[in-house]
Amino acid sequence: MDWQAIALSFELAALTTAVLLLVGLPIGYYIATSARRPLRVLVEAVVALPLVLPPTVLGFYVLLALGPRSPIGAFYESVTGRLLPFSFQGLLVASVLYSLPFSVQPFASAFSAVDSRLLDASFCLGESRFRTFLRITLPLSWQGVVTGMVLSFAHTLGEFGVVLMVGGNVPGVTRTVSISIYDAMQSLDYGLAGRTSAFLLVLSFLVLAATYALQGGAFSPWSKKS
Partner 1 sequence: MKGRGVRGLFLVLLGLALLGCKSSTAGEQAQRAVETVRVASASDLKFALDELSAEFRKAHPAIELEITYGSSGNFYAQLSQRAPFDVFFSADLSYPERLVQAGLGVPDTQFKYGVGRIVIWVPKGSPVDPQRLGIAALNEPAVRKIAIANPEHAPYGKAAVSAMQKLGVYDDVKDKLVLGENISQTAQFVESGSADAGIIAMSLALAPAMKEKGRYWEVPLDTYPRLVQGGVVMSWAKHPKAARELRAFVLSGAGKRILKKFGFYEAEGPD
Binding site for partner 1 (CB under 8 A): 63-64, 66-69, 83, 85-86, 164-165, 168-170, 174, 183, 185-188
Task: Tell me whether residue 28 or residue 59 sits nearer to partner 1 (CB atom).
Answer: 59
How far apart are the C-alpha atoms of 60 and 18, rounded to whole Å? 25
Contacts of 140 (CB under 8 A, 6+ apart): 114, 115, 118, 222
The nearest distance, CB 178 to partner 1, in angstroms, is 12
Task: Tell me whether residue 84 or residue 150 sits nearer to partner 1 (CB atom).
Answer: 84
CA distances from 185 to 159, 189, 190 (A): 17, 6, 6
- The single-letter code of the amino acid at 14 is A
The nearest distance, CB 145 to partner 1, in angstroms, is 29
Euclidean distance between the first and final Cα of the chain, in Å? 42
How far apart are the C-alpha atoms of 96 and 159, rounded to whole Å? 11
Task: Tell me whether residue 124 or residue 188 sits nearer to partner 1 (CB atom).
Answer: 188
Task: Tell me whether residue 64 or residue 214 sits nearer to partner 1 (CB atom).
Answer: 64
The nearest distance, CB 184 to partner 1, in angstroms, is 9
Is 149 in contact with 103 (CB distance < 8 Å)? yes
The nearest distance, CB 85 to partner 1, in angstroms, is 4
How far apart are the C-alpha atoms of 79 and 129, rounded to whole Å? 35
The nearest distance, CB 164 to partner 1, in angstroms, is 6
Task: Tell me whether residue 4 or residue 169 sits nearer to partner 1 (CB atom).
Answer: 169
Task: Tell me whether residue 127 or residue 183 sits nearer to partner 1 (CB atom).
Answer: 183
The nearest distance, CB 6 to partner 1, in angstroms, is 18
How far apart are the C-alpha atoms of 78 and 73, rounded to whole Å? 9
Is 146 in contact with 211 (CB distance < 8 Å)? yes
How far apart are the C-alpha atoms of 113 and 128, rounded to whole Å? 20
